[in-house]
Structure 1
Amino acid sequence: MENELTALISRLHTFSGLAHKQDIQLIAQQLREAWPNPCANGDDCALIPDGEGYKLLAMEGFINRFVAEDPWFAGWCGVMVNLSDIAAMGGRPLAVVNALWNDSLPHAGRIVQGMAAASRAYQVPIVGGHTNLRSDRPQLAVAVLGETRHPLSSFLVRTGQALMVAINLQGRWHPPGNNWDAATEADPAALRHALALLPELAASGRVHAAKDISQAGLAGTLVMMLESAGIGAEINLAEIPIPPQVDLEQWLCAFPSFGFLLAVEPEQCSAVQQQFNSGGIACARVGHFTTDKQLMMQLGQQRACYWDLDQQPLTGMSNH
């Protein structure tokens, strides 16, 4: 008889956000062949050497249905998710640009209003882009430029390091998708302070690597992190910070607005936790990184493999 954990894993494997990440495999090899990039692909941002530091460049495109049905929130997310990618690399954002296609000015206006609201809240300017109001449907893509002198990267995760999770639990569901909105009604100063924690931790050396929890959910994002590093991990699902009355399965699939996976030396876990807690962010040590290229999950006394990268790649973005 299938136990609770293996049944959960089977259901998680059917999550659409995970399938979207698997689509990356279809172009990963062609990209490597077409343009041998000296910078590794697969991180939250492109990492571009720039004098004594690095420029960071990220871009997000959004599902057409989401943009059509929830234009203001799509605009907000266009800014927010890109800023999270910059933070995950230990950086600070400089400016945002966008590409907006639409078939209706009122609808396009709602998207721009959402982007402008996020730009004001996070104090990051929208400096340009491309607009077309003669499209057959609403479409949105947003890019952000940032900088860092102390980059975090999924490729820097090492075995023996602790796996930590930092998530803002002070939010609410934003239906119809698995979006946990911890941002649109939050204090803008608190939003900026929380994002600034990542570059501060990077500069102090307390965090070695980080990854923004994306639409692949916590579990899928962790597999992407492991794929870049060429290693595995053990995670105790019971230790993951979770809001009251929220179902574990839904939480593992959620986009949490502010959520990061962290690679931390074990002796630094307490200090990292305290730093996030001081900004109102829940943070916990939930596991550790291992040599085997598997993500092993524990739930109570049950233990099972969620993903075996030796048997099945996820994005195909790996240097190993």
Structure 2
Amino acid sequence: MPLTELLSQVRDASGLLQKQEIQRVQRHLKQAYPNPFPNGDDAAVIPHGDHFDLLAGEGFMDQFVAADPWFAGWCGIMVNVSDIAAMGGTPVAVVNALWGGDDEVTDAILQGMSEASRVFQVPIVGGHTNLRSQQPHLSVSILGRCRRVLSSFAAQAGQSLIAVVDLRGEFRAPFLNWNAATEAPPQRLRGDLALFSAIAESQLASAAKDISQAGILGTCVMLMESAGVGMDIELEAIPKPAGVAWQDWLCAFPSFGYLLTAEQKNCETLLQMFHHRDIHGAVIGSLNTSGRCCVSAGNDQGLFWDLTATALTGLTANSDVSDKGASRYA
């Protein structure tokens, strides 16, 4: 398949275009009481004494909850823990909001959440329950904590772009969720996530972002928008499981998948930290000032997204909250 056709199909098939709906939310958020840190990271950053509190939340598609309720409950914990890790933090506790009516489905959701809570050692401390709903709905929020922050807003032109993905898994049908977690040893999962707080503390990377439903390239665009940068990406450098088509992989939501930006001198050290834990990682590109996400494969080149022409989420750093750049996160 020609590269331009692949990029077009991924742009349409992934969850990327849904991210544009955030622009409507952002227009209203501008009227809310201000926070000294910009909105748009995987978790909100809240200064608290000598550390930062991190606050995040996830809502789940109704069809996903209905089709695979146990895994939806598991993911309620896992994806929130991943968001906290991407910020360089450690999880503290979660709360959930659950609507259900079918006893079997509701029990499966709660069983999945409870098991993931034990695996990741994160307590479920409260929430909201309504078991008289016509169909199941689930959302989960998390509190985390860190001393140094990895933030999309701290990425800078001239840095290298790294992708790290746990390829020891498989797709969990019927969705493109790459599951490398539910059968993995709990201690290994916790140790993998702990890498990010160590990276933040040692300042080996500036930015990190959990690969979301927007896919690998879509998540790149979200990071670009926050930082006000562009990217040149080498497609074939992206870690990918053998036998999986590029179109599926670029639309996939991996259970452990992250982007990081770092100075070139730190890349080898960063990659070795993941390789020592059998996690695949590679430098897949570089950051520039273009505002464009360009992808190359051999001699072919294609444009995936141009932020100078089309905004995605609208979540960019305003001058009144980002004037100190990365130093705000130190």
Which TM class, normalised by the smaller chain length? Answer: over 0.9
Quote the residue 2:315 is aligned against.
317
Corresponding position: 1:208 with 2:206: yes
Separation in 2, partners of 1:4, 1:107:
43
Amino acid at match of 1:211: K
Q: Which amino acid aligns with 1:281?
A: I
Instruction: State the alpha-carbon separation in 2 of the partners of residues 154 and 16 from structure 1.
Output: 21
Range with greater deviation from structure 2 (246-255 or 25-34): 25-34
Residue 136 of structure 1 is matched in structure 2 by: 134
Asked if 1:86 is matched to 2:69, the reply is: no
2:14–2:215 Cα contact (<8 Å) kept: no
2:31 aligns to what SS in structure 1? helix
Q: Aligned partners of 2:171, 2:105: CA distance in 1, in Å?
A: 23
Q: Is the 8 A contact 2:99 2:136 kept in 1?
A: yes
Distance across 2 between alignment mates of 1:256 and 1:229: 23
Between the aligned partners of 2:223 and 2:13, the Cα distance in structure 1 is 18
Aligned to 2:244: 246
Superposition deviation, residue 310 in structure 1: 0.7
In the aligned structure 1, how far is the partner of 2:56 from the partner of 2:267? 28
Inter-partner Cα distance in structure 1 for 2:139 and 2:78: 12
1-structure distance, mates of 2:11, 2:150: 28
Q: Provide the secondary structure at the position in 2 that maps to 1:100.
A: strand
Is 2:33 aligned against 1:48?
A: no
Deviation at 1:27, TM superposition (A): 1.6
Contact 2:14–2:251 (8 Å) recurs in 1 = no
1:174 aligns with one of 168, 172, 175: 172
Shift of 1:123: 1.0
117, 120, 133: which one pairs with 1:119?
A: 117
Of residues 10-19 and 98-107 in structure 1, the stretch that sits farther from structure 2 once superposed is 10-19
Q: What TM-score do the two structures reach when normalised by structure 2?
A: 0.95
Per-residue deviation, 1:303: 1.1
Instruction: Report the equivalent of 1:155.
Output: 153
Q: Deviations over 1:19-47 (max 9, x none)?
A: 22111112211211244333211000000
Query: Could you say which residue in structure 1 is the equivalent of 2:328?
Result: none
**Distance in 1 of aligned mates of 2:19 and 2:106:** 27
Alpha-carbon separation, structure 2, partners of 1:29 and 1:275? 40
| Identical columns (%) | 51
Distance in 2 (CA, whole Å) between partners of 1:236 and 1:16 is: 19
Corresponding position of 2:63: 65
Pairing partner for 1:189 from 187, 190, 213: 187
Paired amino acid for 1:319: A
Aligned with residue 162 of structure 2, among 157, 161, 164: 164
Q: Cα offset for 1:264?
A: 0.9
Distance 2:286 2:45 in 1: 26
Question: Aligned pairs, how many?
Answer: 318
User: In angstroms, what is the RMSD of aligned CA positions?
Assistant: 1.0
2:213 is aligned with 1:219: no
Query: What does residue range 238-277 of structure 1 map to in structure 2 within 5 Å?
Result: 238-277=236-275
- The 3-state SS of whatever aligns with 1:202 is helix
State the one-letter code of the partner of 1:127: V
TM-superposed CA distance for 1:16, in Å, is: 4.4
1:106 Cα offset (Å)? 2.0
Query: Cα distance, 1:105 vs. partner?
Result: 2.1
